[in-house]
């Protein structure tokens, strides 16, 4: 029937358009989310390292970006049909969904904690925002104890320490679930 032929033709055109338009829009969106997170993390790190002038509003905006792009939002950006080449998302994400989602939620909790701190951030950087501050654990190996304390209660960790924990989650996920593509 002529009608069927028209439908078939338009379907063929639609898929040709998708192919010509390049990457899946979901893939393109998640890659730009990831780039925004990288820029946000770099901004915050730069302010703590003194490479960038501290600015409370910029800190708040960057931490807000990390919060908005992690947790459920990150999970939603990786539906099964979009995994594998040509994207940088490994097919293993589907086989290890619970691990992938746990990482996304873990970084989401850290990012929310950081964003809440950033919302109350003072006009200039204070010592208690820095990595080497935080409650003294009493005697001996302070360095050994602090990371564990921060894991148990991220809200007590200084902002700089939270950033480092966030960056660890970026790397953990990438080493397991991201692949190099040409």
Q: Which residue lies nearer to ligand HEC by CB, 121 or 165? A: 165
Q: Considering only residues 46, 64, 84, 88, which one is a binding residue for ligand HEC as defined by CB under 6 A?
A: 88
CA gap 30, 78 in Å, rounded: 8
Residues 116-155 that bind ligand HEC (CB under 6 A): none
Q: Which residue lies nearer to ligand HEC by CB, 31 or 109? A: 31
Stretch that binds ligand HEC, among 23-31, 43-51, 133-141, 152-160 (CB under 6 A): 23-31
Measured CA distances, 166 to 19, 79, 99, 124, 179 (Å) = 36, 23, 16, 22, 20
Residue 159 within binding range of ligand HEC, rule CB under 6 A: no
Q: Which residue lies nearer to ligand HEC by CB, 52 or 142? A: 52
Contacts of residue 122, defined as CB under 8 A and 6 or more positions apart, other chains included, come to: 56
- Asked whether the beta carbons of 100 and 177 are under 8 A apart, the reply is yes
**Longest Cα–Cα distance in the chain:** 85
Stretch that binds ligand HEC, among 3-11, 45-53, 98-106, 145-153 (CB under 6 A): 98-106
Residue 48 within binding range of ligand HEC, rule CB under 6 A: no
Shortest Å distance, C-beta 142 to ligand HEC = 27
* 29 phi/psi in degrees, rounded to 5: -65, -45
Q: Considering only residues 68, 104, 150, 159, which one is a binding residue for ligand HEC as defined by CB under 6 A?
A: 104
- Three-state DSSP class for 7? helix
Could you tell me where the DSSP H helices lie in 50-177? Answer: 56-69, 72-76, 92-95, 97-119, 142-152, 159-177
Interface residues toward ligand HEC, by CB under 6 A: 27, 30-31, 34-35, 37-38, 41, 66, 74, 87-89, 100, 103-104, 107, 166, 169-170, 173-174, 177-178
């Amino acid at each position: 029937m002529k009608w069927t032929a028209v439908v078939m033709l338009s379907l063929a055109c639609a898929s040709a358009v998708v192919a010509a338009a390049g990457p899946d829009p979901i893939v393109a969106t998640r890659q730009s989310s990831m780039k925004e997170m990288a820029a946000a993390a770099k901004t915050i790190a730069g302010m703590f390292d003194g490479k960038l002038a501290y600015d409370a509003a910029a800190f708040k905006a960057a931490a807000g970006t990390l919060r908005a792009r992690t947790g459920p939002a990150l999970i939603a950006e990786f539906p099964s049909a979009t995994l594998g080449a040509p994207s940088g998302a490994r097919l293993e994400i589907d086989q290890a969904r619970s691990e992938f989602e746990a990482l996304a939620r873990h970084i989401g909790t850290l990012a929310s904690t950081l964003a809440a701190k950033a919302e109350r951030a003072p006009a200039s950087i204070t010592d208690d925002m820095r990595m080497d501050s935080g409650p003294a654990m009493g005697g001996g190996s302070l360095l050994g104890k602090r990371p564990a304390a921060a894991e148990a209660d991220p809200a007590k960790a200084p902002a700089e320490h939270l950033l480092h924990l966030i960056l660890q989650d970026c790397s953990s996920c990438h080493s397991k679930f991201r692949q190099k593509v040409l």
